[in-house]
Structure 1
Amino acid sequence: MSIASVNTGRWGIACMIVGMFLISLNDMLIKSMSGAYPLHQLVFLRSVIGIFFAVGILHVEGGWGLLNTGRWRLHILRGVLIVFANSAIYAAIVAMPLATANALYFVAPLFVTLLSVPMLGEHVGVRRFAAIGVGFGGVLLMMLPQLSGGSGSHGWVAVLPVLAAAGYAMMSVLTRKLGATSRASALAIHIQLAFIIISAIMYVAVGDGRFVDDTTNDSLRFLLRPWVWPAREDYAAIIGLGVLSGVVGYLMSQAYRLSRASVVAPFEYILLIFALFWGWTVFGEWPEPVVFAGAAIVIGSGMYVFFREGQERRGAVS
C-alpha cells in the first residue's frame, strides 16, 4: 500500500468524523423545530440554502462540466435512497431519544459491509459475516423493548432507524461506486436536488396539512404538518441547517470517495457520543440501559468487521 493511499484513507476518515459531528448538530436543530414545521419544509429550506454551498465547491473543483454523467439512473436511485433514509430517521428522532434512534441506526455500517459484496465486489469472510450477525442481534436487543407496547416503548417507530440505516447503507455503497467517475461536489449537488424535488412533491401532496389531524403519532404528524412561513426567530437556525446540509453532503461524499466503504463506515459510531450530548443537554433525554447494551454489541461487531478488513488488506499487500 502506498503512502499516498494511506493518506487518502486518513482524509476520508477525517471527513467522516467531522461529518458525524455536523450531522448530530443538524439532528438537534431539526428535533428542536419539529413542533412548528413539517419535516419536508425544513428539508426543502435546508437544501435550497445548502445547494449554493455545493455549487461553490463545484466551481472550485472544476465547474459545471463535472455534473455531466452517463449514469443518471444510479444518481437518481442514490438521491431517492438518501431522501428515504433521512425521512425515516428524522421521523424517528422526534418521537424517540436522539441517542436511542442513533443507536438503532448504527446497524448502517454493518449493512454497508454486507452490501459491499454484491454491489462493489469486495470480499467479506466468514468471521465478518458472523460479526454482522451478532451486530443484528444487538439491534434486536434494543428493538424488542421498543416494540413490546409497554411503558416507554415507541412501537413501529422503533423500526424507522433500521429502515433508515438500510437505505443509507445502499446510498453509501452507490456513492463509493459513483465516486470513481464523479467528484464529491457533483455528488452533493445531486443529493440536494433530490431533497428539493421530493420535498416539493410532498408540499403538493400534503403541504396544506389536511391529513395531520387524522393521527396522534408524533412521527406522522411531523410528516403531515402544514407548511408555514418561518418565524423570524427561526431564521438563523434554518440558515444553519442549510449551511450544515451543504457541508455535510460534501464531507460524506468525499469520505466514501477517498476510503473503501467497509473502512470508513465504522467511524460513524462516534455519532452516539454527540447524540448523547445533545439529547442530555438540550432535551433532557437519557436512553434505557438496554440501549447501551445493544449499542455496545453493534459497535463491537462493527469494529471487529473493521479490524478484520484491515487485516485482510494488509495481508493482500504483504
Structure 2
Amino acid sequence: MAHTETTDLASFSIACAIGASLAFSISDITVRSFSASLPLAEVVLFRSFFGLAFILMIFARGQGLGAALRTRRPLAHAARGLFVVISNVTYFAGLAALPLAEASAIFFVAPLLITALSAVILREHVGPLRWLALAVGMVGVLLIIKPGSISFQWAVLLPALSALAYAGMHTMTRNMGLSESALTLSIYIQLSFVVFCSVMGLVFGRGDWAGTGHPAAEFLLRAWVWPTPVDFGLFALAGAASATGGYLIGQAYRCSAAGLVAPFEYTALVLAAFWGFAIWGEVPGAVSGLGIALILGSGVFVALRERARRLPPSAKRASGRR
C-alpha cells in the first residue's frame, strides 16, 4: 500500500512538473512579446498583480491573504524570492537578445544543477545510472547550444545565471516543503516580484539609463509607459500562466525528490522549440533535434528508474499535512 501511494505521488509530481512547464512557456512567450515595446520590470509587475489575484481566486479556496502569508520562515521566503527574481529577470533579458530555443537550451542546465544540489545539500540519493542519464541530457543541451558556432556575447551568460538562480530556488523549495504550503510559496514569489519591480520602476522608470542599443539592456532600462488595453489582456494571460506554473512546480518539488521532478522540466524545451517555430519561424536544425531527443530520453529513463524503486516519503506526508 505504501509503495502504491508513493508511486501515485510520484505520478502526481510528474504531472505537476509537465503542467508547470506548459504554463511557464505561455508566460515566457507573452513576456517576450513585450521585449521591443515595454520595460521588463513593468511587464513583470503587472503580470504579478494579475498572478496574485489569480492565486487568491483559484488556489486559495477561500483563504484570505493574511492566512496564506502566515509563515515561520520569512527569511527563507525572502531568500527564495531573491533567487526567483534573479532567475526571471536574467532569463527574460536574455530572451530579448537570443533566439527562444537557444536561450531555453542554455537555461536547461538548471535541472542538472538541481539534481546535483539535491545530492550535495539535501542528501538525496542519486545513483550512478541517474547521473549518467543526466549527463546524457547535458550532452543534448550542448548540442542545442552549439557552443563552437556561437559568437560569444555577454547575453549568453544571462540564461546561464538564470539557471543557477533557479536551481538555488528549487533546492530551497524542496527544503521548505516540510513547513510551507504550495499556496504560501506561490504568494511570496509574486510579492517578491511586486517589491523588486516597484523598486526598478522608481530607479529606472524615467528611462535615463536607456539608449545602450543592446536589446537585453533596453528591455531592462527603457522608460515606463502606460499600457494599452491589449497589453493588459496579455498581462492577465501571463499572470494566470505564471501563477499556475508556480503553484504546480511548488507542488511537484514539495511532494517528490528533486531528482525525480527536475528532468520533466525539460518539457519546456520542447515547447520552446514549438513556440519558436509557430510564432517566430525559428526552425531547429538536425543537431538541435538530436539534442532534444537526448534530453527527453534522459528524462524518461530517470522517471522509469524512479517509478521502479521506493521513493523516500514526500515532504507533504512527512509533515502530516495535505
Matched, 1:272 2:272: no
Q: How does 1:1-318 map to 2 (within 5 A)?
A: 1-57=2-58, 59-60=60-61, 63=64, 64-143=66-145, 145=147, 148-149=150-151, 155-213=153-211, 215-310=212-307, 313=310
Tell me if structure 2 keeps the 8 A contact 1:100–1:291: no
Q: Calculate the aligned-residue CA RMSD, in Å.
A: 2.5
Tell me if structure 2 keeps the 8 A contact 1:22–1:244: yes
- CA, structure 1 residues 309+160, in 2 after alignment: closer, same or farther (shift >3 Å)? farther
* SS state at 2:282 partner: coil
Tell me if structure 2 keeps the 8 A contact 1:47–1:196: yes
Mark the runs of 5 or more structure 2 residues left unpaired by the alignment.
314-322
- CA, structure 1 residues 79+308, in 2 after alignment: closer, same or farther (shift >3 Å)? same
Mark the runs of 5 or more structure 1 residues left unpaired by the alignment.
none
Tell me if structure 1 keeps the 8 A contact 2:264–2:299: no
Give the CA deviation at 1:45.
0.4
Please report the TM-score for the alignment, with normalisation by the length of structure 2: 0.86
Q: Which amino acid aligns with 1:94?
A: A
* SS state at 1:81 partner: helix
Q: Which amino acid aligns with 1:239?
A: A
Q: Which amino acid aligns with 2:189?
A: I
* SS state at 1:211 partner: coil
- CA, structure 1 residues 277+59, in 2 after alignment: closer, same or farther (shift >3 Å)? closer
Q: Which amino acid aligns with 1:109?
A: P
Tell me if structure 2 keeps the 8 A contact 1:103–1:291: no
Moved more, 156-165 or 228-237: 156-165
Give the CA deviation at 1:19.
1.3
Q: Which amino acid aligns with 1:162?
A: A
Give the CA deviation at 1:30.
1.1
Measured against aligned partners, the alpha-carbon deviations of 1:160-198 in whole angstroms (never above 9, x if no partner) come to 222212211111121111111111110000100111111
- CA, structure 1 residues 105+241, in 2 after alignment: closer, same or farther (shift >3 Å)? same
- CA, structure 1 residues 314+212, in 2 after alignment: closer, same or farther (shift >3 Å)? closer
Measured against aligned partners, the alpha-carbon deviations of 1:221-274 in whole angstroms (never above 9, x if no partner) come to 111111110012222111111222222221111111122211111111111222
Give the distance between the partners of 1:51 and 1:136, measured in 2 at CA: 35
- CA, structure 1 residues 124+77, in 2 after alignment: closer, same or farther (shift >3 Å)? same
Identity within the alignment, %: 39
Report the structure, 1 or 2, having the larger helix content: 1
Tell me if structure 2 keeps the 8 A contact 1:58–1:66: no
Give the distance between the partners of 1:171 and 1:218, measured in 2 at CA: 27
Tell me if structure 2 keeps the 8 A contact 1:51–1:192: yes
Give the CA deviation at 1:104.
2.1
Give the distance between the partners of 1:112 and 1:71, measured in 2 at CA: 22
- CA, structure 1 residues 15+141, in 2 after alignment: closer, same or farther (shift >3 Å)? closer
Please report the TM-score for the alignment, with normalisation by the length of structure 1: 0.87
Give the distance between the partners of 1:304 and 1:247, measured in 2 at CA: 27
Tell me if structure 1 keeps the 8 A contact 2:59–2:183: yes
Give the distance between the partners of 2:5 and 2:129, measured in 1 at CA: 30
Count matched residues: 311
Give the distance between the partners of 1:233 and 1:178, measured in 2 at CA: 38
